[in-house]
Amino acid sequence: GENVEQHPSTLSVQEGDSAVIKCTYSDSASNYFPWYKQELGKGPQLIIDIRSNVGEKKDQRIAVTLNKTAKHFSLHITETQPEDSAVYFCAASTGTASKLTFGTGTRLQVTL
């Protein structure tokens, strides 16, 4: 089955700096790659996603890049703010069903 690895497990940045989280996947058939944000005491929430026919997608301060050849994708957050502090999860799906395989999560801390 699919295996998703995520790095780093923790990341601390100063407010205004950029943050990058990286994931690799094993199943070359995967074609959908979402990123979820989980705040303390809440369920994960989708923040951005990318499909395999696209190399990059941007939504305001958040961008995701995908390299299908290398089987890795990354989340980029620019101009970080304290409210960006949360746990971020990447995931992958083959697209034949909604089943997602999640990475292990990255705890992002944005300091003032």
Partner 1 sequence: DAGVIQSPRHEVTEMGQEVTLRCKPISGHNSLFWYRQTMMRGLELLIYFNNNVPIDDSGMPEDRFSAKMPNASFSTLKIQPSEPRDSAVYFCASSLDRTSHEQFFGPGTRLTVL
Binding site residues, partner 1, CB under 8 A = 32, 34, 36, 41-46, 49, 89, 93, 95, 97-105
Nearer to partner 1, 69 or 96 (CB): 96
Question: What's the closest the beta carbon of residue 58 comes to partner 1, in angstroms?
Answer: 18
Taking the mean position of all CA atoms in its chain, how far away is CA 79? 17
Taking the mean position of all CA atoms in its chain, how far away is CA 64? 7
Nearer to partner 1, 85 or 93 (CB): 93
Question: What's the closest the beta carbon of residue 90 comes to partner 1, in angstroms?
Answer: 11
Tell the residue number behind the tokens 């943050």, with chain if given: 19
> Rounded distance, CA 43 to CA 19, Å?
22
Question: What's the closest the beta carbon of residue 110 comes to partner 1, in angstroms?
Answer: 22
Q: Is residue 85 a contact partner of residue 12, using CB atoms and an 8 Å limit?
A: no
Nearer to partner 1, 72 or 102 (CB): 102
> Rounded distance, CA 91 to CA 5, Å?
9
